[in-house]
Structure 1
């Protein structure tokens, strides 16, 4: 069985790499180019398994502010006014519904650093609740573990959880879906708890940045929305 950890990550593509014509992930020259651009933009170096997923807990200060501005406040024509509407108590609640979660999620890797699974498209840090749900699954029949798409499947057998995938269309027949790992339930429980602590640290960094962007009163709910 694998000894694993969950690494909270945030996508550092928008505002840094979205003007680049990139090749396939895994091609060394493109991966190196992405990493150089991201570090040059004042962001942490991406995790080893992906060229533009950065460890959330290492994001802070000006680099994090740049990422928040590019990801949350620059997509719609009226988004220049969004920070002002978040500052105003009269418009804050409606404005909060327009704040998107930062793209990202959780890298599942062994303690030695071998990547087992990456977050999929439309994943975010709020997906830790999905991992908590997976911890409670105790049925050999697979259930969906949403990490973005493609997603994973989890099956339970007492103290052991089996992860398989990735899948896009429900629970494919077992022979079709590759097994990713067998993990002791208590091991994954510890990994989820450790990831939760890292997300809380990241939330503190987000609140500090958001206080400058939208004011101290709006910072906590905006940070929560960005986490997902």
Structure 2
């Protein structure tokens, strides 16, 4: 099963987070070129505030915010701070947490969800490959008895659950029984398991850190 497309999730998440940061960088750099003034809310239509303010040269300016909320965040007559462009007073925004941050928080929040979900899917296989490579060099090989082939119900992609080989090994030195599970397999490995034993590479100092060798299975063609 092709899983490369899952990288789209962290990719989109990273782009959205970058966009959220870019929005704030643009706002802060824009404010550096603007003038701050005091104004008053003169209308709240559909939760969108309109602020009236007077520029330094006495010109009356008005700004209708596109950042709206229900219930409204401002009351008519409420005094607020405003940033405006001295060359174009119609280019302005209300200086408040909601007006300054709500867009970035929404975009950044969605980006964080995409990034977290994406990494949740794509990082474990990468870590598993790295662990397997390390244990093939420094681990201890044990022969574990295959006891089951199970579906991993905790993971579902496109409505499908991967399979895992389950094997157990009794440590003769400690008389403790260890249960091992293979990495996720996107086909039923049952028909291709011809032996009752499977090799598992374990960390001799921490048997819970292991990697089941499934290279005897056929390679799945995407």
Higher relative contact order (CA 8 A, sep 6+): 1
Rg larger in structure? 2
Q: Same fold by TM (over 0.5)?
A: no
TM-score tier (shorter) = under 0.3
Name the one with the larger helix percent: 1
Name the one with the larger strand percent: 2
